[in-house]
């Protein structure tokens, strides 16, 4: 079939056309947020060679269900639903060419190229966005239970000191509220800290929680602690708040309180149907910062499930960020009924287990519209919240088990350097080949040019992603690609040395080198295939480049160079030698 | 016309004892070093946190360390990079501490928090963050090992099919030698074993096999051509005949690898180092490990013919290089 030069040239021409066709710039449409935060379709023309995250910058996340707070009932279903929610959120977020996919059965991989603010992207992906509207504990059930809880704690030998040690030990295991003690408070209290208390310091990490306090605090605020006599542990730690169900905890005691309420003694005596939730932001009372904690009726009167729309704005009056939401018709009916039943009570808006701002008093029935005040948040944070609320809540909390972020500048730098290395590498290979094989070397270099074109074309046709190791693999493969030509040329030289005519020597050279070329390349492809199988993004890119490169090098060395030799012999029928 | 090693006729196999000495001199100290220090696994494999930052004003690693210590990130590894304005901070997860999957995430936040507190948020930019939970790291270690073993097995099967079982065994032993010497090299250089470096090792494996097969292909052919010669002579002849090719191909490959090593930047440098060394060890093992092992197998367990290597029958459909003698 490929006996005639014409048919060979047509085949090569076809391959060249296909490669160029694959590489031809095409119009790509992406959704990106405009300056005002509204999503727009933007089109651009570019070569269909995707750059990996390590080249263009971006963030790669692997997420799994977070089962540390209790097993998720139907994990497979939860992952599928979480996948859907994340996809919706990312679409709204507006990233050019994002990737959201399930890996195996229990992992979700999210890749967001060109992200400049990874923290924000993580927040959007990972946020549960579980919105609940809950009534505060207006019957004071929790308050009434406090003395019994304190007795149980005392009986169990739990003191603030022992809790402090527990907190210090498990500091790595993440408190529910990552509250860092404010240094200002520390300094004020440090000034009049009794010497005896310093000695109590638990070993290890920052034990401020256990060491600070006692006498000073007790003296300052004995008047407004919860209990009549301030002897119990909880009674010392919780101060009465401004509304029913609200309690205030000095900011530096947040981890201690967290540990205390997690104790079985407390949990056991917790009134039925009542839960405790932290406020999202601290409150200041005079010179001190307090974190509010709320006793809430466990059953929410409404959840974010019924939310149909959410819009962020800056409130003209308070100049605070606000998210306005709209409930579905059915949700609106429920909300109207429930709020009507609770006029005069305080309703907490609980987002991801945190109470947002101060729970407002319900003054009248609320139907399908409402708003969430975010206090100090800026407009962008409010927009992000609106986005995740609209996309729906995650069915279960997710934890990030792997993160890779590459800044855009580092990626750009890698591209420049990889390109430079490629140019220099190719130049060296060209010099070596032409210096050693002269005319035949030129033929090999021509074939090498086609090799580069075919490999890049193949990458574009497969929509493969170009990564930094991929670029390195490509550069390396240029050095290896000439191997097939070297094998053939050396054979031809040997055959010529044995006294064969030029035509026969060339024939024999190609035929005899064939076995070695195929065998050696198949083994390399096998190795590369296993690399592809186990590797992550960048390494996969490397494996694809390597495999494509090997195939292209076989095609060019065996087929293209052969054709070039045939043309040479055609032009000079009487030639007895060739510069090789 | 430039010719190198044309019609060479060196007694290469005769020098094998010296070659064993050379390779042992590389491997043994390397293995002892490894036994004491262990491989320097990247955080991809151990789990942990890597933060690469570029600082605007010149800082010393010591200043960074102080800042991190104050911010609660202790025992992090700090490496200055490039011109001294870039630093890579690595905090590995310790196996003893009770770690959970999000520990690495938290550490990354702690690192940037500590830097912001010490130098201000504007004074540095984060260029790269990797935070890998212990589970992912463990999975990756296992996957890498499986990939290496499977590629061994596949190669053995392919070679047994295309050549003969003993050729496959010899090639795989040579490849194992390459992995061991490369590990020794990694130990000497204190290179960090990342996923990309494992990819480089596997590439070296492919390259070395490729090289071994070129020689074995010639051996296979010469066994038919020179039926009276003993295997040692045939091995020598085959290696000598393929010598020009070896030199030239290694020349071009080394040229591109050196371009990568010196020009392609820090991120890819460990990868380039492993490749550069691997090309040498791959060539060496093709000549001095694969061929002598074949000879040893042949002496110990003689094959069908007197010389031990039975005639190769090319599988149907593949072009055969075996001339009808």
Alpha carbon distance A140, A296 (integer Å)? 10
Is B199 in contact with A174 (Cβ distance < 8 A)?
A: no
Inter-chain touch A429–B256, beta carbons under 8 Å: yes
Residue B95, Cβ density class (10 Å: 0-12 exposed, 13-18 middle, ≥19 buried): exposed
Q: Residue A478 burial by CB count (10 A; 0-12/13-18/19+): exposed, middle or buried?
A: buried
A-B C-beta contacts closer than 8 Å: 259
Range with lowest mean pLDDT among A83-87, A486-490, B316-320? B316-320
CA distance B38 to chain A (A): 23
Show residues of chain B in contact with A435, CB under 8 Å. Answer: 2
Output A432 or B163, whichever has higher pLDDT: A432
Q: What percent of chain A has pLDDT over 90?
A: 11
Residue of A nearest to B275 (CA): A476
- B151 vs A526: CB contact, 8 Å cut-off? yes
What DSSP character marks residue A110? Answer: E
Nearest to A172 among B103, B146, B272 (CB): B103
pLDDT higher than 60, residue A270: yes
Give the residue from A258, A126, A280 showing the smallest Cα distance to B102.
A126
Record: contact A403-B254, CB cut-off 8 A = no
Mean per-residue pLDDT of chain A: 80
Domain boundaries of chain A, sorted by first residue: 5-25+407-571, 30-129+400-406, 133-377
Residue with tokens 């977070």: A66
Rounded to whole angstroms, the Cα distance separating A265 from A477 reads 67
Q: Is the pLDDT of residue A50 over 90?
A: no
Q: Which of A479, A487, A522 sits opposite B214 (nearest CB)?
A: A487
> Do the domains A5-25+407-571 and A30-129+400-406 sit in the same CATH topology, yes or no?
no
Instruction: Give the largest CA-CA distance in chain B.
Output: 81
Interval A189-196 mean pLDDT:
34
Residue B273 near residue B189, CB atoms below 8 Å: yes
DSSP state of A578: -
- Name the residue with tokens 């690495």: B104
Looking at residue A170, what is its pLDDT? 57
**pLDDT tens by residue, A442-478:** 999 999 999 999 999 998 888 888 888 888 888 888 8
d(CA B31, CA B262): 28
> In Å, how far are A247, A251, A473 from A470, measured between CA atoms?
58, 51, 5
- Mind listing the pLDDT tens digit for each residue in A305-316? 888 888 888 877
H helix or E strand, kind and range, residue A349: strand A347-351
Per residue in A541-561, pLDDT (tens digit) is 888 888 898 889 888 888 898
In this complex, the residue of B100, B195, B205 whose CB is nearest that of residue A173 is B100
- B208 near B216, Cβ under 8 Å? no
The two three-digit tokens of residue A371, written as one number: 């708003």
Strand partners, A39: A33
Q: Which residues of A touch B203 (CB under 8 A)?
A: 473, 476, 527-528, 531, 546
Output the six-digit token pair for A344. 């005069």
Q: What's the pLDDT tens digit per position in A209-219?
A: 444 444 334 43
Q: Indicate yes or no: CB of B101 within 8 angstroms of CB of A399.
A: yes
Domain A30-129+400-406 CATH assignment equals 3.30.1600.10:
no
Q: Do B199 and A542 touch (CB under 8 A)?
A: yes
Q: Pick A96 or A313 by higher pLDDT.
A: A313
Chain A CB contacts of B213 below 8 Å: 516, 519-520, 523
Strand partners, A361: A346
pLDDT tens digit sequence for A459-469: 888 888 888 88
CA distance, residue A541 to nearest chain B CA (Å): 11
Chain B CA closest to residue A578: B1
Q: Which CATH architecture has domain B48-132?
A: 2-Layer Sandwich (3.30)
Mean pLDDT value across residues A161-175: 62
Q: Which of A67, A420, A469, A472 to mutate to test the interface with B (most CBs of B within 10 A)?
A: A472
Distance, CA of A356 to CA of A191 (rounded, Å): 34
**Which residues in chain B show pLDDT less than 70?**
1-2, 6, 82, 94-101, 303-325
Between A529 and B255, whose confidence is greater?
B255
| Chain A partners within 8 Å of B195 (Cβ) | 535-536, 538-539
- Tell me if B271 and A402 make a contact (CB, 8 A cut-off): no
Q: Is the pLDDT of residue A182 over 80?
A: no
Q: Is the sign of the CA dihedral A404, A409, A412, A413 positive or negative?
A: negative
Would the CB atoms of B251 and A425 count as touching at under 8 Å? Answer: no
Question: What is the predicted pLDDT for the residue at B231?
Answer: 87
Please report residues of B whose CB lies closer than 8 A to that of A433: 252
Return the CATH number of the domain spanning residue range B13-40+137-300. 1.20.1640.10
Mean pLDDT over A179-185 rounds to 35
Residue of A nearest to B162 (CA): A519
Testing the interface with A: which of B260, B262, B274 to mutate, by most A Cβ within 10 A? B260
Q: What is the ipTM of this complex?
A: 0.82
pLDDT of residue B322: 43
- Give me the mean pLDDT over the A362-375 stretch: 79
Cβ-nearest to A524 among B162, B196, B206: B206
DSSP string, A57-89: -EEEEEEEE--TTS--SSHHHHHHHHHHHHHHH
Asked whether residue A521 carries a pLDDT value surpassing 80, the answer given is: yes
Q: Select the residue from A433, A520, A551, A557 to test the B interface by mutation, using most B Cβ atoms within 10 A.
A: A520
Domain assignments of chain B as residue spans, ordered by start: 13-40+137-300, 48-132
What does the pLDDT average to over A318-324?
A: 82
Architecture category of domain A5-25+407-571 in CATH = Up-down Bundle (1.20)
Task: Give the residue on B whose Cα is nearest the Cα of A420.
Answer: B263
- In angstroms, rounded to a whole number, what is the distance separating the alpha carbons of residues B207 and B146? 19
Question: β-strand A50-51 against A369-373: which pairing, if any?
Answer: unpaired
**Chain A residues touching residue B194 (CB < 8 angstroms):** none
Cβ contact A400–B102 (<8 Å): yes
Cα torsion through B230, B233, B235, B241, rounded to 10: -140
Task: Please name the residue ranges forming H helices in chain B.
Answer: 16-37, 43-46, 61-70, 103-119, 134-162, 165-189, 195-225, 231-263, 269-285, 291-300
């Amino acid at each position: 079939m490929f006996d005639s030069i014409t048919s060979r040239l047509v085949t090569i021409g076809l391959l060249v056309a296909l490669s160029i066709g694959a590489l031809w710039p095409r119009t790509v449409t992406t959704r990106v947020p405009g300056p005002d935060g509204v999503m727009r379709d933007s089109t651009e023309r570019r070569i269909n060679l995707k750059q990996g995250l390590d080249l263009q910058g971006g963030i790669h996340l692997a997420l799994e269900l977070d089962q540390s707070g209790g097993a998720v009932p139907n994990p497979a279903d939860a992952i599928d639903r979480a996948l859907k929610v994340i996809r919706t959120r990312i679409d709204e977020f507006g990233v050019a060419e994002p990737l959201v996919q399930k890996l195996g059965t229990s992992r979700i991989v999210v890749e967001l190229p060109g992200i400049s603010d990874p923290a924000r992207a993580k927040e959007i992906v990972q946020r549960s966005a579980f919105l609940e509207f809950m009534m505060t504990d207006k019957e004071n059930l929790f308050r009434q239970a406090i003395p019994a809880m304190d007795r149980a704690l005392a009986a169990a030998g739990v003191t603030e000191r022992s809790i402090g040690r527990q907190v210090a030990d498990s500091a790595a295991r993440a408190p529910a509220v990552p509250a860092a003690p404010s240094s200002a408070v520390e300094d004020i209290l440090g000034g009049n800290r009794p010497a005896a208390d310093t000695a109590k310091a638990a070993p290890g990490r920052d034990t401020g929680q256990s060491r600070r306090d006692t006498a000073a605090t007790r003296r300052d605020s004995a008047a407004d602690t919860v209990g009549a006599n301030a002897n119990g542990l909880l009674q010392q730690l919780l101060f009465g708040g401004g509304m029913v169900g609200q309690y205030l905890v000095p900011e530096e005691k947040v981890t201690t309180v967290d540990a205390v309420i997690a104790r079985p003694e407390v949990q056991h005596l917790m009134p039925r149907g009542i839960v405790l939730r932290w406020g999202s932001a601290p409150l200041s009372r005079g010179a001190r910062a307090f974190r509010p904690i709320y006793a809430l009726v466990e059953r929410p009167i409404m959840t974010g499930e019924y939310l149909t729309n959410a819009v962020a704005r800056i409130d003209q009056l308070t100049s605070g960020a606000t998210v306005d939401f709209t409930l579905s018709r059915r949700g609106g009916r429920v909300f109207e009924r429930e709020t009507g039943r609770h006029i005069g009570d305080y309703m907490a808006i609980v987002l991801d287990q945190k109470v947002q701002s101060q729970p407002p008093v319900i003054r009248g029935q609320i139907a399908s519209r409402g708003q969430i005040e975010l206090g100090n948040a800026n407009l962008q944070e409010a927009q992000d919240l609106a986005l995740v609320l609209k996309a729906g809540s995650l069915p279960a909390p997710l934890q990030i088990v792997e993160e890779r972020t590459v800044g855009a500048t580092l990626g750009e730098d890698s591209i420049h350097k990889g390109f430079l290395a490629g140019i220099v590498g190719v130049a060296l290979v060209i010099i070596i080949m032409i210096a050693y094989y002269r005319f035949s070397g030129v033929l090999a270099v021509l074939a090498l040019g086609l090799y580069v074109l075919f490999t890049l074309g193949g990458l574009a046709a497969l929509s493969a992603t170009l990564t930094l190791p991929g670029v390195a693999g490509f550069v390396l493969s240029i050095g290896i690609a000439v191997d097939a030509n070297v094998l053939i040329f050396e054979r031809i030289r040997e055959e010529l040395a044995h006294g064969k005519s030029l035509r026969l020597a060339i024939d024999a050279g190609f035929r005899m080198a064939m076995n070695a070329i195929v065998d050696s390349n198949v083994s390399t492809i096998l190795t590369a295939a296993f690399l592809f199988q186990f590797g992550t993004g960048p390494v996969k890119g490397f494996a694809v480049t390597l495999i494509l490169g090997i195939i292209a090098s076989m095609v060019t060395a065996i087929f293209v160079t052969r054709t070039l030799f045939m043309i040479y012999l055609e032009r000079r029928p009487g030639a007895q030698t060739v510069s090789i | 016309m430039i010719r190198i090693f044309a019609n060479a006729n060196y007694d290469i196999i005769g020098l094998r004892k010296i070659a064993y000495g050379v390779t042992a001199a590389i491997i043994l100290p390397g293995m002892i070093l490894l036994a004491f220090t262990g491989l320097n696994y990247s955080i991809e494999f151990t789990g942990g946190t890597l933060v690469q930052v570029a600082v605007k004003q010149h800082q010393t690693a010591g200043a960074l360390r102080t800042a991190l210590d104050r911010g609660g990130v202790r025992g992090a590894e700090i490496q200055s990079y490039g011109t001294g304005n870039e630093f890579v901070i690595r905090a590995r997860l310790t196996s003893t501490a009770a770690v959970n999957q999000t520990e690495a995430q938290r550490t990354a936040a702690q690192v940037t928090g500590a830097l912001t507190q010490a130098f201000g948020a504007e004074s540095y930019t984060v260029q790269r963050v990797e935070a890998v939970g212990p589970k992912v790291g463990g999975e990756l270690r296992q996957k890498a090992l499986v990939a290496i073993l499977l590629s061994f097995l596949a190669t053995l099967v392919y070679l047994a099919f295309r050549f003969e079982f003993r050729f496959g065994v010899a090639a795989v032993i040579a490849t194992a030698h390459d992995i061991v010497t490369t590990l020794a090299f990694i130990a000497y250089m204190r290179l960090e074993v990342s996923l990309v470096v494992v990819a480089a090792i596997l590439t070296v494996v492919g390259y070395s096999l490729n090289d071994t097969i070129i020689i074995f292909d010639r051996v296979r052919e010469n066994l038919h051509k020179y039926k009276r010669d003993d295997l040692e002579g045939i091995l020598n002849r085959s290696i000598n005949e393929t010598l020009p090719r070896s030199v030239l191909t290694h020349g071009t490959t080394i040229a591109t690898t050196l371009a990568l090593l010196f020009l392609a930047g820090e991120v890819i440098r460990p990868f380039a180092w492993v490749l550069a060394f691997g090309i040498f060890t791959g060539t060496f093992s093709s000549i001095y490990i694969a061929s002598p092992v074949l000879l040893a197998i042949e002496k110990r367990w003689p094959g069908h013919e007197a010389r031990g290597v039975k005639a190769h029958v090319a599988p149907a459909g593949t072009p055969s290089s075996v001339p009808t003698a």
